[in-house]
Amino acid sequence: MSEIDLSPLQTILNPYIPLGRSGLLPALHAAQKHYGWLPQEVASGVAGALKVPLADVHGVIEFYALFYNEPIGKHVIRVCTDVACALKGADEILDHLCAHHGIQPDQTTPDAATTIEHAPCLGLCEHAPAALLDEQAETNIDLQTGSYELGLPSSRVYGTLRELTGHCGNGTTSFQSYGDYSALRKAQNMQPADVIAEIKAAGLVGRGGAAFPTGIKWDGAANAPGFEKYVICNADESEPGTFKDRILLLDDPHSTIEGMCISAHAIGASKGYIYLRGEYPYILPVLENALSEARSAGYLGGEFDIQIRVGAGAYICGEETALFESIEGKRGFPRVKPPFPTTHGLFGKPTVINNVETLANVPLIIEKGSAEYRKTGTEKSPGSKLFCLSGDVEKPGLYEIPFGVTLRELLAMAGCDSFQAVLFGGAAGAFATPEHLDVKLTFEDLRAAGLPLGSGVVMVFDETRDLRDTLSRLGKFFAHESCGKCYPCQLGTQRQMEILDRIAEGWMIEGDLERLEDVGWTMTDSSLCGLGQTAAGAVLSAMKQFPDLFGPERRVE
């Protein structure tokens, strides 16, 4: 191995030194981009420059999947082998690439030219099968014809409404095309409390899965003591099957930025962060340009400004407190709650954190008024909802529909007239069957049917699919993504994966079903955060809906 040239390192790190420890993630990204990986000497240089203990720097490098403490190839191909891509032949693509380069998955060619990895969901499910070639999306890969698309992924937008997606489907919307931040200017002529009251009256709840009332969250932060407050956009969209935030940020970044500005005015925040998942590197320049446009127009850079933090491959950082830890330059471990983010969030200060779709609703509500906004949807689920359809449908893509449309109607739009199962909510979701076709897609109706709305994932499996393979992949996903902080999730996801692998292979040990159920409910009831609490959701749902998958004829003593 050649000697590491550390002479450029100080220049690389200079922009991040004033940030202290909170500059650790961007500093590591910058150093790795230059050196290709993060050797010991570079890690030591980062630790010294940012005054972070070297052990902590190594802890962060080892925690995130996209940081490397060993040499990798000049080019990295990450092939998604998660559920949606697996349905479209991802395993065959991974095998083909590895055979072509003469290596196994997660290995590097002898000439150090190429590393090939199998990756969890890349957020490109409607373009499956997909991969990430360095920082470019490789989509619609077809081994038969040798064809693929490389570059920014196109946006497939459908549905009966175009309110949230009005600027989507035709490439990135510039500030000039977006128009002046008229909703923000309207909000700035209102008292902060009146802005919050309007959000409450609209009935907006979080679109990231938890469905917490947005106005109550803002109210809590606004009334929390202290002058230093933060607004965060959670763009760490990592749930298998979801890609709505990718489309909103690529095609309409200004709606999210304007939503953050309105939130900042409402709670009195002076600083904001957009936390972008590491598997979306091609979105970073789009966001940077949009923020620059907003600053040039005078909407950022004065009383309120926004920075971007790029994650590094950790599903757990979609959990709000783990995201705070990541921005602060730490491993993404969830915090124990209470205290809650509205009083003790980022850097221990009052913080509002919303996901992309939630923030995109905010300018719409302020511009239209809550009464007009509530004319769409239902009384308990007002507005529209974005659904990410993938799997065995003719028209996979992003669908915007009013709350209250039935599952049957949504699937008809996507060209699906029969199916075996629908996975709602992604890996952390539950399965629907044809018996659920007339369930209305609202928070209240889905909850009554035992189905989580989650982040809007609707993944369809036709009658030819073996759901045992699907469950095995979900088990691997959670075992890989568990942060290991709490014992029920750390051990439970491993045991769940082992049992599901046996079931997929056709061999079960006596007592496996009982163990699977016991492990599932233990994780659900006693895990620290939402990852462990939902890691068994789809499995327990499948045991209820499809008992034949686990039939006694598949057991061995």
Mean pLDDT, residues 205-213: 91
- Separation between Cα atoms, residue 198 and residue 342, nearest integer Å: 19
Query: What's domain 75-151's architecture?
Result: 3-Layer(aba) Sandwich (3.40)
Identify the pLDDT of residue 557.
44
Please check the confidence at residue 83 and state whether its pLDDT lies above 70.
yes
State what percent of residues in the chain have pLDDT above 70. Answer: 98
DSSP 374-404: TTSB-SSSBSEEEEEEEES-SS-EEEEEETT
**SS3 (DSSP) at 69:** coil
Cross-strand partners of 508: 555
Please check the confidence at residue 371 and state whether its pLDDT lies above 90.
yes
Binned at pLDDT 50, 70 and 90, residue 3 comes out as confident
Residue type, 267: I
Residue-wise pLDDT tens digits, 102-126:
999 999 999 999 999 999 999 999 9
Contact of 73 with 112, CB cutoff 8 Å: yes
Contact of 276 with 66, CB cutoff 8 Å: no
- Separation between Cα atoms, residue 535 and residue 540, nearest integer Å: 10
What's the pTM?
Answer: 0.97
Contact of 156 with 396, CB cutoff 8 Å: yes
384-461 shares its CATH topology with 467-556: no
Q: 158-373 in CATH: which number?
A: 3.40.50.11540
Residue-wise pLDDT tens digits, 114-169:
999 999 999 999 999 999 999 999 999 999 999 999 999 999 999 999 999 999 99
Domain 467-556 of CATH type 1.20.1440.230: yes
Residue ranges per structural domain of the chain: 9-63, 75-151, 158-373, 384-461, 467-556
Domain 384-461 of CATH type 1.20.950.20: no
Least Cα distance to 339 among 358, 354, 324 occurs for 324
Contact of 536 with 500, CB cutoff 8 Å: no
The tokens of 506 are what?
């056709």
Mean pLDDT, residues 303-331: 97
The tokens of 460 are what?
């369809």
Residue-wise pLDDT tens digits, 392-426:
999 999 999 999 999 999 999 999 999 999 999 99
- Separation between Cα atoms, residue 137 and residue 131, nearest integer Å: 6
Contact of 251 with 245, CB cutoff 8 Å: no
